[in-house]
Structure 1
Amino acid sequence: MISDYLNKLVYSKGGRVLAHVVFWWLSLAFLMVFFARISSDYGFSLRFACLMLPVAMGTTYFINYSLVPKYLLTRNYGKFILYFVYTLIVSMYFQMWVIALTYISIAEYNYEKLGPVAGDFIFQPVGLYSIVLLGVALKLLRLWMKAERERAELKSASLEAALKLKEAELQLLKGQIHPHFLFNTLNNLYGLALEKSDVLPDSILRLSELLDFLLYRSNKSLVPLADEIKLIRDYIALEELRFEERLRLELDIQANGNDCSIAPFLLFPFVENAFKHGFMQDDQQLFLSISIQTKGERLYLTVTNSFSKAEKEAGQLGGVGLSNVRKRLELLYPGRHKLTIENDERHFIVNLELDLKPKDDAGSDS
């Protein structure tokens, strides 16, 4: 709170004016003491310092508010050095006028009253230009601090905008996943209804369990891995009711589901894609192998399914689901996943390796 108040004071107009006043009063005191080292006459040194101070002020302000913004900040260093030296020469010329004014007004044309400080042309610039250089250095320091503050604010604003964009994109992808899943499942139920299948009531019960996960748990950023696995099991059970003995399923799950968390609906699209694009319009035996394993906090998923020739010829093996989940992986697990998708003459194969460590832990290990 104190630091915020000081920042407001420093960067406010009144604060800057106060800083300038304090700086020049301190500079006057410094010049008085500095010049008195030769004569030990503080009265004369004070009057002489009062005459010299306007020279220091004019030189400092000309450098800070003309040369620095025009040449130094625009990286025109050659002109800055040239005009800087020229400014010092002009400043020395005004020093001579100050000495002449001192000789007239203070010493009353009496050289003996002039004091040794007025005649020391080496000693005078040391005190005078130490003030000028300090004023320029403080100006450059303030400009640097302002630039750093603006850079930090810009970085913070950029990060905030990136986070909002990321969140919006994630919500859009999740919104695409849910209708996609519901559309496919309702189509399956419609087919069972047309066939007047005896498994229709059990299918509806399975769908209600899936909807429970969809409506009440998928809005969380993370869910237990066990919940995602249960969702997959329920969906497979729903599809088994439809395909019956035509489906040859190999399910191998060796995962510590209660010890790890995962983004909801992240693994599900791989399984849904196998049923959606692998088993369409084909009366032959269908094969699906799903392996989910965890080793520590790393997850390994392999989904292998047969596919119809029509799907391969149409180039529709991937589908919307895989495209969306690939984008979600890039957003939620950047640098923490490895996804490979391939197919041979008979099988479509998906391999996913995923680091389930929380982001902070994953970052500290890298």
Structure 2
Amino acid sequence: MNKLIRFGAQIGLLLTIWLILWSGQFWKTPFILENISAFIAQILVVLFLIYIAAPKYLFTKRYLHFIGISVLILILANLAVSYFSPQIIEPIPRLRGMNMPPDDMNPREPHRPPSEFLTQSLLIVLSYILATVIEVIYYNQKNEEALIKSKAQTLNTELKLLKSQINPHFLFNALNNIYALSGIDTEKTQKSISYLSDMLRYVLYECEQPLVSLQKEMDYIDNYIKLFRLKSSKTYPIKTEFNVSNPNIMLSPMLLIPFVENAFKHSNIEKIKDTFITIYIETTAQSILFKIENSIPEAPVNKDELGGIGLENVKKRLAIIYPNTHELKITTVNNTFSVSLKLEQHV
């Protein structure tokens, strides 16, 4: 709402009030003429507030200047009303053929009772105060909308940044696995490339959407595990259990993957002995439950700190996308690192 529209709306409100007052006097011409100067004064003080006083002093936090100039403009407005109103009503008796007393020839002599002048002065002051309140409300609302928009843009930028930090991490791991296979088994290398192709397709295209189906996230996890298993002919102690009644339930893309990557990275699963990874996914009508556990070697592997940047990014994304609809628990008990994540379904 621009200044002109707000000005017109406030003048319309003032006009409505005056019409009610005038109708109470049965539209008597003297009453209208006596008060029209007060109405004009109200228009001018509101105009002054919207275009000068509020933007230049009030909204720049120059409060003393605003109060001082407001008091000054209200005094001038009331002096103008007291000066011009008698001149307006002065010709009325002459039109009716009435004789004017000599004292009434002085245009500066007041013709109205003090109570009437005080009433008009009060209306001018109240109209200025009302206009100030309306301007402050509009200003605060506008600032709040701008703040919300700014926060949304910031969150969107942060989400994109967090996603961009996820993708290179996954890609480097996959390429290292394929490189290790290339000199050992051609058939496994071809399978690895196929798995990697599906994973890249998901990352590059599906992850551009704000939400994806749980099925696509599970397919990615499945391909990730298959790609890892192809590194060796050994049987890795990796267990998955997906009790998913609704695979089309939606969630934010690449939300579960960092937990899986973290488990593979810190469990030292390549050693097989005394290691394990267990992945469990379950759905209800309104939620997704994801659990993952992995062993922690007695002698820590020379890698990043357990959890690392990947899990920190997930926590930030959860705080942004699921601020009040997620429950994340991360525990370490008896050399077992456990993650439990519950997500409420996106509407």
- TM-score category (smaller protein): 0.7 to 0.9
The equivalent position to 2:196 in structure 1, one of 207, 210, 227, is: 207
* 1:298 alignment partner in structure 2: 287
8 Å CA contact 2:237–2:269 kept in 1: the answer is: no
Question: 2:39 & 2:336 partners in 1: Cα distance?
Answer: 84
Instruction: Tell me whether 1:162 sits opposite 2:151 in the alignment.
Output: yes
Q: Aligned-pair distance for 1:259?
A: 3.8
Residues 260-309 of structure 1 show CA distances to partners (whole Å, capped at 9, x for unaligned) of 11111111111121112222674635311111011221111110111333
Number of residue-to-residue matches in the alignment = 320
Structure 2 vs 1, CA of residues 62 and 172 (structure 1 numbering), >3 Å: closer, same or farther?
closer
Sequence identity of aligned pairs in percent? 27
Q: Aligned-pair distance for 1:311?
A: 2.9
TM-score (normalised: structure 1) = 0.69
* 2:296 alignment partner in structure 1: 307
8 Å CA contact 2:267–2:296 kept in 1: the answer is: yes
Q: Aligned-pair distance for 1:183?
A: 0.5
The aligned amino acid for 1:217 is E
* 2:114 alignment partner in structure 1: 125
Range that drifts further, 193-202 or 147-156: 193-202
Structure 2 vs 1, CA of residues 205 and 137 (structure 1 numbering), >3 Å: closer, same or farther?
same
Instruction: Tell me whether 1:173 sits opposite 2:153 in the alignment.
Output: no
The equivalent position to 2:133 in structure 1, one of 132, 144, 147, is: 144
8 Å CA contact 2:268–2:296 kept in 1: the answer is: yes
Structure 2 vs 1, CA of residues 308 and 62 (structure 1 numbering), >3 Å: closer, same or farther?
closer
Question: 2:250 & 2:27 partners in 1: Cα distance?
Answer: 74
SS of match in other structure, 2:289: strand
* 1:354 alignment partner in structure 2: 343
The equivalent position to 2:324 in structure 1, one of 332, 335, 343, is: 335
Q: Aligned-pair distance for 1:119?
A: 10
Question: 2:27 & 2:340 partners in 1: Cα distance?
Answer: 82
Q: Pairwise mapping of residues 204-243 of structure 1 onto structure 2 (< 5 A)?
A: 204-243=193-232
* 1:190 alignment partner in structure 2: 179
Structure 2 vs 1, CA of residues 168 and 35 (structure 1 numbering), >3 Å: closer, same or farther?
closer
Question: 1:133 & 1:34 partners in 2: Cα distance?
Answer: 22
Question: 1:231 & 1:282 partners in 2: Cα distance?
Answer: 24
Residues 169-208 of structure 1 show CA distances to partners (whole Å, capped at 9, x for unaligned) of 1111111111110011111122223445752222222112
8 Å CA contact 1:60–1:136 kept in 2: the answer is: no
CA root-mean-square deviation: 4.5
The aligned amino acid for 2:198 is E
Q: Aligned-pair distance for 1:160?
A: 1.3
Structure 2 vs 1, CA of residues 258 and 60 (structure 1 numbering), >3 Å: closer, same or farther?
closer
SS of match in other structure, 1:247: coil
Structure 2 vs 1, CA of residues 57 and 319 (structure 1 numbering), >3 Å: closer, same or farther?
closer
Question: 1:187 & 1:336 partners in 2: Cα distance?
Answer: 37
Question: 1:286 & 1:63 partners in 2: Cα distance?
Answer: 77
Question: 1:119 & 1:35 partners in 2: Cα distance?
Answer: 23
Question: 2:238 & 2:270 partners in 1: Cα distance?
Answer: 18
Structure 2 vs 1, CA of residues 264 and 58 (structure 1 numbering), >3 Å: closer, same or farther?
closer
Structure 2 vs 1, CA of residues 125 and 173 (structure 1 numbering), >3 Å: closer, same or farther?
same
Question: 1:214 & 1:59 partners in 2: Cα distance?
Answer: 63
8 Å CA contact 1:173–1:328 kept in 2: the answer is: yes
- The structure where helix makes up a greater share of residues is 1
Instruction: Tell me whether 1:276 sits opposite 2:265 in the alignment.
Output: yes
